[in-house]
Chains A and B, each alone.
Chain A
Amino acid sequence: MSATLRFGEGNLQYDAQGRLRHLLSIEGLRERELLQILDTAESFLSIANRSVKKTPTLRGRTIVNLFFENSTRTRSTFELAAKRLSADVLNIAVGTSSASKGESLMDTVDNLVAMQVDGFVIRHPEAGAAHLVVRHLGDSVLVVNAGDGQHAHPTQALLDVFTIRRLAGPIEDRVVAIVGDVLHSRVARSQIHALSILGCPEIRVIGPSTLVPEALSALGVHVYHDLRAGLRGVDVICALRLQRERMVSHRLPSLDEFHGRFGLTPERLRWADPGALVLHPGPMNRGVEIASEVADGAQAVILQQVAHGLAVRMAVLAILAGAAGGE
């Protein structure tokens, strides 16, 4: 089996003709594919407002949602996205599948491929899982990474930049701050790559050193450990979900202290530019990384993000599938 795994060659996300075939990480994508996805998402967004919300783009295709981790938002928007494109959708959640009986990821995937499916949307608790599937399957089916460990969550980042572009204006002159547990966040990693590919002039990451180490500056971001300084002049604030296990691993003394230093409250929101947008990938810990007044306030665009997520995921599936059929 190992002989079929491909290592060391170029970007796995593109096929031999240089077309985008898989979406594994934002890193390594060209600006023109990012823009193509965002522009396509604009057109799908308008479809959502029609009474007949379906398009025939993926009619006859089968997309498998293969989720090895719990998810409500991502899984349901991918399902809805595929259905609105007229694809058949198979939802497989681990725990109800043979993966819990010890079957390997590769065998699970092989069995589904034998059923002639056309694409996988994969979420897995380990970094690199979607890459591994592409190494194994090659370009025969499309693969979308819907979150792999702490590595990447590309569609979330795409919907975030889509939201910023629509609601805050051109990314080329917006200052964006990502607040919270950046080190362990696949969302933050993907956001950083998406923003920098699209020309964001300044990306800041804000949080305590245990969650926002200086080493993150290798990704081209400015590191802040003080919320007030970090928010000064910021147009967009992306809050991150704080995982409770960070307390067990001693990266934080308590949730209260984190909220005290870095929680987004209405008063602190004023440290940013007036009218700064507040994004959150969900699910939120109200009263920890974000206060309810902010989450439900006028500057929050959290529910728009969800709506945009649907359009962006439709765009991703349509573009990746199009590369397969030469449409």
Chain B
Amino acid sequence: MRRMIRNIRVMDPHDGFDAVTDLAMADGRIVARGTLPVGFTAEEVLDGSGLIACPGFIETAFQGHTPGHGRDGDLASELRAAVAGGVTQVVLRPDTQPMADNPAVLQAQRTLADRLDLAKVHLSGALTTQLQGAALTEMAGLAEAGAIVFSQAKASVASAALLRLALSYAADLGLPVWLHGEEAELAAQGVMHEGHSSIRLGLPGRPAAAEQIGVQRDIAIAALSGCPIHFPHLSTVAAVAEVAAARQRGEPVSCGVSIHHLLLTEQDVGFFNPHAKTLPPLRPAAERDALRLAAATGAITAISSDHSPWGVDRAGMTFTQAPFGIAAVEWLLPLALRLVDEGVVDMMTVLGLLSVGPARAIGLPAPSLVAGAPADLCIFDPEAYCIVEPALQWSHGRNLPYGQWELRGQVRYTLVEGRVVYRR
């Protein structure tokens, strides 16, 4: 469909373009940003007054629960949530049921994703069988089935020797590896950050040092093979500094952070709120503030919502029993705009952290709104306020600690290859 959006503020972090202008799309691509080609006619013309158009967001840590039993949601429910959040591309996490450690699972994911035709779905293959860190997966087969990264999801590889072999095997295939930073034994039993709150609540903690040690080790091991690695969700500034130092040395290492670690602290666990239980755990305010600074200065290149939905059957579990994870992909933009309102970053930077940064980590072309680029975009009203109501989510997940938060920024349209996949 040929579509035109008039008088819209276009913000394109790819090249820093920021102006109120017109956008034209045809055949799934951007035709023009700014002056329209002579004689361009559109079948649909949208008035973009007061709205902002930016490249669609890329969610790097997306739990689609497909394959799975469906009680916690599935690709259909979760991709609807994603496009409602302005997300146009997701990378599926491999910790599904069964896990994405064999090509058949990836093929099934691909088939369903193609049928749904919502956001673009990228597949990841497990780095080790069952993510247990004990044996290599058939990575060449996974790559053939469409994996664009090998991932350990939320599981560290305890054996340094096995990690070394896995990374050097993955390096042959030219695909990046995504790792969970925490050292396995030091963090083993913990359900939250080891600190004031865990002491207060009598819960076993995960020390911040576990992440620094794990990241340090993984970087040193990666250097042996030159395999590019990415940590999609770091939670401590010490670990981020390890990544920054490696980059300074020219090593292909990068890291992202979840929006939750930029907004919340260990205190949000309050008295055992399982919705604030995530992995890595929420840290003290000093860490949050340092992570914010790292995001503002470029040491952190991607923000994700670390989407981990858990259905209503999980309610009624104690904090220890409750699974890790927060389901908030549809609030990713308004949550990220809090960082703008709190003076952490400007709007252009935050949009880049949600789109260009994740693309780089995956090895995808940087999303943009220049002529010729795929028409994957998010159009939002930056001044519309909304109140988070977990029961009304698109996602099957009800597990988010943002209930009743008043947030600014409402996604109005999400377009994937020129098709409107979400509209409100």
Contacts and interface: CB of A to CB of B under 8 A. Distances in A.
State yes or no: do A and B come from one complex: yes
B108 interface: no
Interface of B: 194-196, 199-203, 270-273, 275, 312, 314-321, 390-391, 398-399, 401, 403-404
Contacts of B390: 2-3
Contacts of A12: 271
10 contacts: A2-B391, A7-B401, A25-B271, A27-B200, A126-B318, A127-B201, A129-B318, A136-B316, A215-B194, A218-B200
A128 interface: yes
B276 to A, nearest CB: 9
Interface stretch (A53-61, A82-90, A147-155, A166-174): A147-155
* Closest CB pairs A-B (n = 8): A128-B272, A150-B202, A2-B315, A151-B202, A106-B316, A126-B318, A218-B196, A2-B398
A215 B312 CA distance: 36
Interface in A24-44: 24-25, 27-28
A241 interface: no
A127 B403 contact: no
Contacts of B270: 7-8
Interface string A112-135: 000000000000101111011000
Interface string A90-128: 000000000000001111000000000000000010111
Contact of B321 (A7, A126, A131, A216): A126
B195 A215 contact: yes
Contacts of B321: 126
Given A127-B272, A219-B200, A1 B320 contact: no
A149 B202 contact: yes
Most chain B CB within 10 A, of A132, A136, A184, A216, is at A132
A5 interface: yes
Most chain A CB within 10 A, of B194, B316, B317, B398, is at B316
A189 interface: yes
A186 interface: yes
B244 to A, nearest CB: 28
Given A1-B312, A7-B273, A132-B272, A127 B318 contact: yes
A105 B316 contact: yes
A233 to B, nearest CB: 25
B392 to A, nearest CB: 10
Contacts of A104: 316-317
A153 B196 CA distance: 19
Nearest to B391: A3
B403 A132 contact: no
A216 B199 CA distance: 7
Contact of B312 (A2, A136, A150, A216): A2
